[in-house]
């Protein structure tokens, strides 16, 4: 199944997408749908208001996840590009819901930063409550996969040894357009991921190149704390980021950042300078 959160004249709504039709499930967003233990059956049997998919206004797949756990240095080629050794454990940091935007929303280029970089990523959305998950439980906890771009303020990221401050600027992180359940998209077998800036391919990889795959990440993270339905794990980015280039490249006003993953659709976001405050 393909599931999404869309914006309507009456607020947001969770929908099931079938071809050129989106059918409302009766929930205000996908997070609320996933909180229903029978969400799969509920989504399959949805019979609410319908919308044409052409021109849908996509909100972030899960607009306000309880947790967004991000993984750094998780593609073999990107690790080598950054001159590092393969990690023994995942590198983790957090992002807040305020950073998330929809698949076609503008990316806000923070006035405080001059080094906004792209990071095309596979996102894993949790569909069941899990703690201390083994491999089988972790695999069963995957609600589905989605496109995400962990747009990063590099100058803020490297102000200290803690990355968080460069990773969660408001309205910077495209998430969507939709979630695809594992029966339709097998990230463990490998999905093709690509990032473009103004139509130029800048990142290209397969999710098969992940050092820690989605199941391993769920098992690892759930050792520390409970993962709940609607929580998100951003699994890391491959090589090709602007910061690692010579000369370094960053997003500028008006540029279009496109992020796509085979079977999961694409986000297309225009970068816009932050409006002055005060």
- Note the pLDDT tens digit of each residue in 173-221: 999 999 999 999 988 889 999 999 999 999 999 999 999 999 999 999 9
Q: How confident is the model at residue 278 (pLDDT cuts 50, 70, 90)?
A: low
- Same domain (yes/no): 156, 204: yes
Q: Are residues 22 and 99 in the same domain?
A: no
Where does a domain end: 34, 59, 84? 59
Give the structural domain span for 33.
1-59
Q: Are residues 40 and 80 in the same domain?
A: no
278 assigned to some structural domain: no
Residue 81 has pLDDT above 80, yes or no: no
**Number of separate domains in the chain:** 2
Same-domain status, 247 and 202: yes
The proportion of the chain whose per-residue pLDDT surpasses 90, expressed as a percent, equals 90
Which of 59, 78, 95 is the C-terminal boundary of a domain? 59
Q: Does 122 share its domain with 159?
A: yes
- Mean per-residue pLDDT, 150-163: 95
pLDDT at residue 277, rounded to an integer? 56
Among 20, 38, 59, residue at a domain's last position:
59
Positive/negative CA dihedral, 43, 47, 49, 50 = positive
The answer, yes or no, to whether residue 62 has pLDDT greater than 60, is yes
Taking the alpha carbons of 149, 155, 161, 162 in that order, is the dihedral positive or negative? negative
Residues 96 and 201 grouped into a single domain? yes
Same domain, yes or no: 45 and 153: no
Same domain, 135 and 89: yes
Task: Give the pLDDT confidence of 107-137 residue by residue, as tens digits.
Answer: 999 999 999 999 999 999 999 999 999 999 9
If asked whether residues 69 and 198 sit together in one domain, one would say: yes
Confidence (pTM): 0.95
**Where does the pLDDT of residue 86 fall: very low under 50, low under 70, confident under 90, or very high at 90 and above?**
confident
pLDDT of residue 246: 93
33, 66: one domain: no
222 and 260 fall within a common domain: yes
Other beta carbons within 10 angstroms of residue 94's beta carbon come to 12
Sheet holding 200-206, edge to edge: 107-109, 265-273, 256-261, 192-197, 200-206
- 93 and 175, same structural domain? yes
Q: Which residue has the higher pLDDT, 98 or 244?
A: 98
């Amino acid at each position: 199944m393909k599931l999404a959160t869309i914006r309507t004249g009456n607020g947001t709504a969770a929908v099931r997408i079938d071809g050129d039709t989106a059918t409302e499930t009766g929930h205000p967003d996908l997070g609320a749908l996933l909180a229903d233990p029978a969400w799969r059956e509920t989504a399959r049997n949805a019979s609410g208001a319908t919308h044409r998919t052409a021109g849908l206004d996509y909100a972030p797949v899960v607009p306000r996840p309880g947790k967004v756990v991000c993984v750094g240095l998780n593609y073999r080629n990107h690790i080598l590009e950054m001159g590092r050794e393969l990690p023994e454990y995942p590198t983790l940091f957090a992002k807040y819901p305020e950073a998330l935007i929809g698949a076609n929303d503008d990316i806000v280029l923070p006035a405080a930063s001059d080094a906004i970089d792209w990071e095309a990523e596979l996102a894993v959305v949790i569909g069941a409550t899990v703690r201390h998950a083994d491999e089988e439980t972790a695999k069963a906890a995957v609600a589905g996969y989605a496109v995400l771009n962990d747009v990063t303020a590099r100058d803020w990221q490297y102000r200290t040894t803690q990355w968080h401050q460069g990773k969660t600027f408001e309205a910077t992180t495209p998430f969507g357009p939709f979630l695809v359940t594992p029966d339709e998209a097998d990230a463990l077998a490998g999905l093709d991921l690509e990032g473009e800036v103004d139509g130029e391919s800048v990142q290209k990889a397969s999710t098969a190149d992940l050092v820690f795959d989605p199941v391993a990440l769920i098992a690892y993270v759930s050792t520390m704390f409970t993962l709940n339905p609607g929580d998100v794990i951003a699994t890391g980015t491959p090589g090709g980021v602007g910061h690692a280039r010579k000369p370094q490249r960053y997003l500028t006003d008006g540029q279009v950042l496109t992020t796509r993953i085979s079977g999961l659709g694409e986000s297309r976001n225009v970068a816009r300078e932050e409006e002055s405050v005060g």
